[in-house]
Amino acid sequence: MDVNRPSTPPVALCLGGMDPSGGAGLIRDAMTLAELGCQPMAVSLAETLQNGLGCSRIEPPAMDAVQRLETLAPHLTGQWGLKLSLCALEAKDFRRLCATVLHLAPPVRIWDPILAPSAGVGLHDGADLRRMAADLLPMGGWVVSPNRGEAAAFAGLPPQAIRSAPADALATPWLEAGAMAVWLKGGHGEGNQVQDVWITREGIQAMDPAPRLPGERRGTGCLLSATWLGLRLQGMTAVEAARHAAHRLRDRWDLAFAPGTVGRAMFGPTSRHGEAR
């Protein structure tokens, strides 16, 4: 018996975008976290018109997101965690959201700073992410998990820097803004290998390099950050959870499918033990 495993499922609260197809966003988060033995809860910060072909529209949610979050507060005690991702809230509403999160003080927290869905319309640019970071990161304790494109935009670097910029140049602006750690994902890097990097003020830890897998998959960022949150809530350290999340994504890469044989492949459901259903 694992003595670190909680006797009741920890709550994993996801604040992000609603992708109706489930390839990414809150549905993908909830599926991933349930597989890892967590109780998922969710508050929509963005509504989308989206399927496997792309995203054509992103709007703020019709219902007040902060009120929804406050309604969940009685459940958010003990060992619980929070994931923040796609957000279409106005700046004033995002500041209200940050104030509520600060009050709730999630013990585990990760921000997946999305610029746009992987295909279709965009939502943010680097300046938007910097404004969000100024409200969010000073509260402390945040792991930020950008891909190289998101990190380059945040740093104000040109598009040609996405593949070749040094990891510390991409991570330092996040740390200066208040991030506890930057999990820089390596999928957009150069070469035939993918390597994530974990960066804090104390130094850089390169993770296991692995061959680049063929094809594209929807929702890789969602799957990675939600997996990290679930593994952290089940007792892993932050770096262990990042390493295991990357391995879990690779293990299910070939199980991806396109519902109705249309659009880009998405990850299918698995059992709690990781077998495909």
pLDDT digit string (tens) for 211-253? 999 888 999 999 999 999 999 999 999 999 999 999 999 999 9
Alpha helices in the chain (DSSP H): 25-35, 65-72, 91-104, 126-136, 148-155, 161-164, 167-177, 220-233, 238-251
Give residue for tokens 């600060």. Answer: 102
- Predicted pLDDT of residue 276: 42
Q: Could you give the CA distance from residue 11 to residue 130 in angstroms, rounded to a whole number?
A: 29
Sorted by where each begins, the domain ranges of the chain are 11-257
pLDDT at 188: 64
Which pLDDT belongs to residue 161?
A: 78
* pLDDT number for residue 271: 52
Task: Answer whether residue 189 shows pLDDT above 90.
Answer: no
pTM for this one?
0.92
- Is residue 96 within 8 A of residue 67, CB to CB? The reply is no
Strand 108-111 relative to strand 143-144, pairing: parallel
Q: Per-residue confidence at 121, pLDDT binned at 50, 70, 90?
A: confident
What is residue 273's predicted lDDT score, i.e. its pLDDT?
44
Mean per-residue pLDDT for 160-170?
A: 85
Architecture of domain 11-257: 3-Layer(aba) Sandwich (3.40)
**Model confidence at 266: pLDDT above 90:** yes
pLDDT tens-digit readout, 38-90: 999 999 999 999 999 989 999 999 999 999 999 999 999 999 999 999 999 99
